[in-house]
Amino acid sequence: MADDLHRVLLRIRHGTSEHAALGEWAQSSGVDAVARLTSILALHGETADLGLLISDEARSIRAEAHRSLLETIERRAQLVWIPVTVATLVPGLIFLAVPFTAAMSQVTGGGS
């Protein structure tokens, strides 16, 4: 991000407007959070309290990243249950099949 901001500053020093340089950064990054941040930074000349807006956006981006991380953790936690279920079902079926087979052979008269 520091390199990207350095490129934005170089573009501004070479005559590109702040809004255009920030727009180029937003477009080249392809990240929604950067696009939202650049739209706030473009308000530099139009608002008095830019720091509050940037702080709110940073808080929003952190909350979004936190939600995404929680979703990933939940998906991985669900994936754990597949091998656990298989690992418990197979031995359970074997332990059930042995007495069931013995009981069926006694009922059908096959084992005495």
Q: Does the residue 67 lie in any domain?
A: yes
Which three-class secondary structure state does DSSP give residue 1? coil
Q: Does the residue 92 lie in any domain?
A: no
Query: Could you list the residue range(s) of the whole structural domain that residue 72 is in?
Result: 2-79
Q: Does the residue 8 lie in any domain?
A: yes
Q: Does the residue 97 lie in any domain?
A: no
- pLDDT digit string, tens, across residues 12-36: 899 988 888 888 888 888 888 888 8
Above 80 in pLDDT, residue 47? no
Q: Does the residue 50 lie in any domain?
A: yes
Half-sphere exposure of 4 (CA within 13 A, CB side): 15
Q: Does the residue 87 lie in any domain?
A: no
Q: Does the residue 106 lie in any domain?
A: no
Q: Which residue has the tokens 């052979």?
A: 105
The identity of residue 72, as a single letter, is T
Residue 19 is predicted with a pLDDT of 85
pTM above the 0.75 mark? no
Q: Does the residue 89 lie in any domain?
A: no
Residue 111 is predicted with a pLDDT of 54
- Number of structural domains (the chain) is 1
Q: Where are the alpha helices (DSSP H) in the chain?
A: 2-13, 18-29, 32-41, 50-107
